Amino acid sequence: MPVKQILLQVAAMAPVTSILFAALSAAATLTSFTDAASSPSPRLAVPPPPCVAPPSAAAFLRARCATTPYAVACYDTLIPYACTFQTSHIKLARAAADVNLAWLRGLSTRVKEVVARGSTGAGVEAGALHDCASTVASAAGLAKQSAAELASLDAAGAAAARNKVRWSIANAQTWLSASMTNEATCVDGIGLAGAAASPVAREVVIGVLSAREHTTIALALVNGIPVPS
């Protein structure tokens, strides 16, 4: 079953907002699939600084987010970090990659916990969710690679050679694209197993589709990094 069909099926059972947990921040909590009260609070790689976003940074972010498929979610998620990226394309892409990494790490942890507790039912549903735990973990690993690549590019600063910029962008694009493939594989696997109606599977699907929005935003912002002439 294609991702879009699964999303429609899930939405019919439990409406999904434009982006679940859109205001992801250092104090945000992931919804546990079986016990929300037991879910830990994931920490972003770089907590947002205690400052008010300068108008120039807010305007820059709004313009860059308009180039992504999820403009509102992009802006709402990244505005807490405006003081860190100001009007830098590279620093903005890095912030988006860090948010994406934090989300996928938290999601991977929760899926693994559900599988380990045996809360996934039996048969094809259990198999699909076990496979999903693996693919989400792989997506998180790829997100880590892309975040590290952008951190390296950011550290190089204005002295970064043109080839370094092109290489870093290409690497981040490759890893983020591969991460999206893993996310889609997870959702498709649940759909093919006919497990999307399960409450646990439904929560996993919603979480993965939301993570895919973060990955899509990060990839779009990486694509927008200008290469020096």
7 found inside a domain: yes
Range of the domain at 109: 3-14+90-223
Residue 189 lies in a domain: yes
Average pLDDT of the chain, as a whole number: 78
**Structural domains in the chain (count):** 1
In a domain, residue 46? The reply is no
User: Per the domain annotation, does 145 fall within a domain?
Assistant: yes
- pLDDT reading at 68 higher than 80: yes
Residue 61 has pLDDT above 70, yes or no: yes
In a domain, 103, yes or no: yes
Q: pLDDT band at 118, cuts 50/70/90?
A: low
Average pLDDT over residues 89-95: 96
Mean pLDDT of 7-35: 33
Q: 43 lies in a domain?
A: no
Residues 176, 171: Cα–Cα separation, whole Å: 9
pTM of the model: 0.78
pLDDT of 60 above 90? yes
Whether the pLDDT of residue 39 is over 60: the answer is: no
- CA 41 to the chain's CA centroid: 16
**CA pair distance 30, 20, nearest whole angstrom:** 10
Banded pLDDT at 26 (limits 50, 70, 90): very low
With a cut of 80, say whether residue 7 has pLDDT above it: no
The answer to whether residue 27 sits within a structural domain is no
Read off the tokens for 152.
């390296």
pLDDT grade for 127, boundaries at 50, 70 and 90: confident
Query: Can you read off the two tokens belonging to residue 35?
Result: 């016990």
CATH of the domain at 125: 1.20.140.40
Residue 211 lies in a domain: yes
